[in-house]
Structure 1
Amino acid sequence: MEQRLSLITLAVADVARSRAFYVDGLGWAPLFEAEDVVMLPVGPQLLLSLWSVEGFTAEIGEPPAAGLAPITLAHNVRTEAEADAVLARAASLGATTQAAVRRDWGGYSGYFQDPDGFRWEIAVNPGDTGAYVLP
């Protein structure tokens, strides 16, 4: 198996609400849309799929676990000001946010929670991982 990730799927309670947050609010452009799914390109050969809980459950065979998902999604930016601006934008869309601060690992990051409770880290990363900011 090649070391790569092609698709990240988030099971969402209301596809229209999630679309409004990501597409209308954050300004992301969908690649594909149907009644129960919106697919957003988020990197070279990488899609974020916002899929209805019902469709997700039918495909997987069991409903997603309730409560805080034990993952975070991360979005690297170039500057602290850019991190603060992304968090402010998310807050203006009604997202719960945690202000960015300087971290012990040398970076600067904060978090927002999307309408379904998925946590996004907005970070300025030092070192090699900071290179994962698209031009």
Structure 2
Amino acid sequence: MDQRISFITLAVADLETSRAFYVDGLGWRPELHEPGEVLMLAAGERLVFSLWQREQFEAEVGAIAAGPGVAPFTLSHNVATEAEVDAVLAEARAAGADPVEAAQRREWGGWTGYFADPDGHRWEIATNPGPIGQRVLP
């Protein structure tokens, strides 16, 4: 198996609310939008970010575990500077994101903060001065 990820798919409670957040609020461009079913957005050269209406997701993938707390993963958007981190966090908040944690200096030298999308999925906005952090920048 090749070491790569082709799609990241998130189940969402209301696809149109998520579309409004990502497309209208954050300015992402849809590649495919089937109202009430799925929204797909290019997220990299060979990566698609897919938002799937919860009921359709469960019909194919299986029942979604429910309970208190945060889903055990984050999505990260890396940028080159601390000012860009702050600007993206501000843009997300203006789009209606739930501010989870303001940007701050991390023990490992980066500057990161978090927001939650309409379904509570956590996004980390970061600048990472290390070699792997630089590798992911456009």
TM-score normalised by length of structure 1: 0.95
* Residue aligned with 1:74, SS: strand
* Residue aligned with 1:16, SS: helix
- Separation in structure 1 between the aligned mates of residue 136 and residue 122 of structure 2, nearest angstrom: 19
Quote the residue 2:120 is aligned against.
117
Quote the residue 1:41 is aligned against.
42
Quote the residue 2:63 is aligned against.
62
Quote the residue 1:5 is aligned against.
5
* Residue aligned with 2:29, SS: coil
Residue from 122, 129, 132 that aligns with 2:132: 129
1:14-93 to structure 2, matched below 5 A, reads 14-35=14-35, 36-67=37-68, 68-93=70-95
**Which one-letter code corresponds to 2:71 in the other structure?**
A
Partner deviation per Cα, 1:22-57 (whole Å, 9 max, x = no partner): 001000001111021100110111011010000100
Structure 1's 66 and 53: CA in aligned 2 closer, same or farther, altered over 3 A?
farther
Structure 1's 44 and 65: CA in aligned 2 closer, same or farther, altered over 3 A?
farther
Aligned-pair CA distance for 1:94 = 2.1
Residue from 104, 108, 112 that aligns with 2:111: 108
**Which one-letter code corresponds to 2:75 in the other structure?**
L
Aligned 8 A contact 1:57 1:64 in 2: no
Identity %: 59
Runs of 4+ in 1 over 2 A off after TM superposition: 63-67
Partner deviation per Cα, 1:55-86 (whole Å, 9 max, x = no partner): 10001122343442100000000111110011
Aligned-residue CA RMSD in angstroms?
Answer: 1.1
Partner deviation per Cα, 1:4-24 (whole Å, 9 max, x = no partner): 000000000000000000001
What is the number of equivalent residue pairs in this alignment? Answer: 134
* Residue aligned with 1:122, SS: strand
TM-score normalised by length of structure 2: 0.93
* Residue aligned with 1:9, SS: strand
| Ranges in structure 1 where 5+ consecutive residues have no aligned partner | none
